[in-house]
Amino acid sequence: MIKSHVQQEIQKRLAERDLEALLVYSDGTHSLLVPTHLHYVTGTRAMGPSAAIVARDGQARWLVEPEWDVQRVKPLTWIKDVRGTRNLCRDLMVALSELCPSGKLAGCGLAPMPEGLYASLEAKVKVTPGNDLVEDVTRVRTDAEVELMREVGEIADVGANAMAEYARPGVTEFELVARMEHAMRLAGADDNFILISTGPHNQEMHEPTERRLEPGDIVIGEISPAKDAQFMQLCRTVVLGKPSALVVAKYEMLMEAFRKALAEVRVGASAGQMSKAMNAVISQAGYEKFCYPPYMRARGHGFGVGTLAPGGAIDDDTTKPFERNQPVVVHPNQYLEETGYLACGETVLVTDSGYERLSKTETRLESVEV
């Protein structure tokens, strides 16, 4: 995704802060837990360690490892000066001498930078924290970004449908996740993060194992496909066979918590209120202690640069308000003593009056004949 407006917005903010340039670093990791600032700034994903410099005067350079990857990324970014490198530290110091001679530099995404590279950087320039500079730019979502969220929401639906289709006795967790991964890749995902658990009483969601599904199992999944660094997430529960009256009742309790939480989602509303609304329903049913650590960590989070608690936690103490066109996961996933862990929830887009669903599949308790 080419973001030509990014350069002007960064230049504007550098001028406001009296800084000469912005350095954005990535180690090549693509994760729903860590905002990918470099991907946002350049418009495409790095394969390995790389660094982009955007100067206040309009100059920009992107140093890319591995060296040969420059041919792939060059047509995909607004940065015209893209250079492959075999020695990122050396070439970065040269670039800073040329684009930031005053040494007044904002640094963004530097947390995973190797110690040696950061030491060389600090010895050359004065580094001012700049994550918030990029995040400030991202808070105004373009039409293309909103459309991408909707597209990834549809890919998540494909994963949820595959989970319901292939969750059958005799299938291993590995095989089920492979089917889900394959379906979402065919639908356009370039990455996937899937957690799962199967059994009569699940403790938590985890990476898939060799365990084979059995009749009566409760299958829970956290389905998170990505495209162009935009993740979406669906939380789903499928019962192999007819669910017990107890499971049906407890899942309906979670659905009520889900509905109450969604009613609190809108521009300007406190994100913590969403969490409180969810926890109130579950607490009133007698499960208050299970709403908080060590049993539960988050009632939701955002995805990507500039969102609310990206990959982190929205809980009762979150004071930040929702902003327009933010993707937000709302999930009353819950461990209950009687049933084990049940998964419930999805990602929505925050609007002025409420929210827009990004998926078409219904959040509900699924069951399959066995």
Is the distance from CB of 303 to CB of 327 less than 8 angstroms? Answer: yes
Q: How many angstroms separate the CA atoms of 134 and 24, rounded?
A: 9
Q: How many angstroms separate the CA atoms of 155 and 173, rounded?
A: 20
Residues in CB range of 220: below 8 A, 6 or more apart: 196, 197, 198, 202, 205, 235, 236, 237, 238, 341, 342, 343
Residue 238 β-bridge partners: 219, 366
- Class of domain 143-368 as given by CATH: alpha beta
Q: How many angstroms separate the CA atoms of 274 and 227, rounded?
A: 27
Whether the model clears a pTM of 0.85, i.e. scores above it, the answer is: yes
Tokens of 119: 């030491």
pLDDT digit string, tens, across residues 110-167: 999 999 999 999 999 999 999 999 999 998 888 999 999 999 999 999 999 999 999 9
Pairing of strands 60-64, 50-55: antiparallel
Q: How many angstroms separate the CA atoms of 302 and 31, rounded?
A: 13
Concatenated DSSP letters of 202-265: ----BS--SPBP-TT-EEEEEEEEEETTEE--EEEEEEESSPPHHHHHHHHHHHHHHHHHHTT-
Residues in CB range of 320: below 8 A, 6 or more apart: 270, 271, 308, 309
pLDDT in tens, the chain (370 residues): 445 688 999 999 999 999 999 999 999 988 888 889 999 999 998 899 999 999 999 999 999 999 999 999 999 999 999 999 999 999 999 999 999 999 999 999 999 999 999 999 999 999 999 999 999 999 888 899 999 999 999 999 999 999 999 999 999 999 999 999 999 999 999 999 999 999 999 999 999 999 999 999 999 999 999 999 899 999 999 999 999 999 999 999 999 999 999 999 999 999 999 999 999 999 999 999 999 998 888 999 999 898 999 988 999 999 999 999 999 999 999 999 999 999 999 999 999 999 999 999 999 999 999 9
Check if CATH label 1.10.10.10 holds for domain 5-138.
no
- Across the chain, the runs of DSSP E, i.e. the strands, are 21-26, 50-55, 60-64, 81-84, 104-108, 126-129, 191-199, 218-227, 230-231, 234-240, 300-302, 327-330, 334-336, 340-342, 345-350, 355-357, 365-368
In the block, tokens 């597209």 appear at: 151
Q: What is the DSSP letter of 289?
A: G
The residue ranges of every structural domain in the chain are 5-138, 143-368
Is the distance from CB of 341 to CB of 141 less than 8 angstroms? Answer: no
Q: How many angstroms separate the CA atoms of 58 and 332, rounded?
A: 46
Closest CA to 144 of 325, 276, 289: 325
